[in-house]
Amino acid sequence: MPLMVQKYGGSSVADGDKIKNVARRIVKARSEGNQVVVVISAMGDTTNKLLELAYQISAQPKDRELDVLLSTGELVSSTLLAMALEDLGHKAISLSGAQAGIQTDSSFSKAHILRVDPKRIADELKKGQVVIVAGFQGVTQDRDITTLGRGGSDTTAVALAASLHAEMCQIYTDVEGVYTADPRFVPQAVKLKKIGYEEMLELASYGAKVLHPRAVELGELYNIPITVASSFVDKPGTIICKEVSMEIRNKVRGIAHDTNVAKVTIIGVPDHPGIAMSIFEPLARADISVDTIVQNASIEGITDLTFTIARSELTKAMSIIEPISMDIGAKRCATDSSLAKVSIVGTGMENTPGYAARMFRALYEQGINIQLITTSEIRITCIISEDKVRDAIQILHKTFELDAT
């Protein structure tokens, strides 16, 4: 019997009726002759509510306690779904991440899965049960509960699909698939039937919220086809899989945007060996990931250093950077937290000149100033003012003929 892993996001299980709707969908998958393992997120915005609660109690709750607290959201939804399935006459059992054999490292709030021991799940499947696993959590070797970071249930689902050798991992959410751009910004955006892991990973990493980048990475590593579809309608979504094409590659496949961006400039930095290290090492130790880094050519041994980070980490980052910039003899620091990233992604850009120039011209003709630029082989990202993001996405969608994909 083929095995499917299905994941339902928070909005798909936001209330009792929605949980019953999910139960009916699972029954359908069963009646089509599949074994089903379900990964579930916490109901609606439960995780945010739990976080608020913690910060009402304490300004600095301990990571370990926070992880146990947040893991309870997924326990609630998984048990309710098991009850709904039993009511429909199907045997079902809910398991916490720990019970499901998900072993992680001990980085609380951003744990990585080290291994999955699927024995318990396999045993329950043999008994004919639908197995419902609480997403986004695992357990360390010392039996501490961990969580995988916000949005981590996608990663749980793909990890289980890999370790159980499932046919497919189906991610159900409140959108109908992966679009060429955010349809709220571009009404002409088109739902993609299929997209390769490489392109999906760039889109997800640069702001497409539909799927967590770590899940895409795992899917690629273990070659698990992932579908993204809506739990509210019966329509095919988008398949993310290995795309086999010899030479015909996609031009621009999609546009991602991210408004969680802040820019930091350290002005008047003495230009000598060790300076970049003394700034970026402490940021790395504080687990702040730095994206674009630009260092100006130095004039008389003095330079400016600019980089971007997530806006949500700006306060924490500045508490580290300000004392360091004094130490290294920089003049001052400036920050800007009203920026956004807009990226075009497509494997066809590799080895084909002209995409960057077209992107820059389109933004120029729209009167949009580009502050910073970064690229990968299949992506070009411009950092622009946040209030221009809608205009930028719309013009790029038109320029790269995505309306007609």
Residues that bind ligand ASP (CB under 6 A): 9-10, 41-42, 47, 73, 135-136, 150-153
Spatial separation of the C-alpha atoms in residues 93 and 121, rounded to whole Å: 10
**Residue 275 C-beta: closest distance to ligand ASP, Å:** 37
Neighbour count for residue 236 (Cβ, 10 Å): 11
Which of 41/163 has CB closer to Mg ion? Answer: 41
Matching residue, tokens 């120039």: 357
Q: Are 235 and 228 in contact (CB under 8 A)?
A: no
Residue nearest to ligand ASP (CB): 153
Spatial separation of the C-alpha atoms in residues 97 and 137, rounded to whole Å: 5
Q: Are 242 and 334 in contact (CB under 8 A)?
A: no
Structure tokens given for 254: 């999609």
Spatial separation of the C-alpha atoms in residues 242 and 240, rounded to whole Å: 7
Which of 152/346 has CB closer to ligand ASP? Answer: 152
Q: Are 246 and 186 in contact (CB under 8 A)?
A: no
**Residue 10 C-beta: closest distance to Mg ion, Å:** 4
Residue nearest to Mg ion (CB): 10
Spatial separation of the C-alpha atoms in residues 256 and 389, rounded to whole Å: 10
Quick one: which of 8, 10, 192, 388 contacts Mg ion (CB under 5 A)?
10
Which of 230/295 has CB closer to Mg ion? Answer: 230
Which of 171/203 has CB closer to ligand ASP? Answer: 171
**Residue 135 partner contact from ligand ASP, Mg ion, none using kind-dependent CB cut-offs of 5 to 8 Å:** ligand ASP
Quick one: which of 41, 94, 137, 146 contacts Mg ion (CB under 5 A)?
41
Backbone angles phi, psi at 27, to 5 degrees: -60, -40
3-state class (DSSP) for residue 372: strand
**Residue 213 C-beta: closest distance to Mg ion, Å:** 15
Which of 45/86 has CB closer to ligand ASP? Answer: 45
| Interaction between residue 146 and Mg ion (CB under 5 A) | no
**Residue 170 C-beta: closest distance to ligand ASP, Å:** 15
Residues that bind Mg ion (CB under 5 A): 10, 41
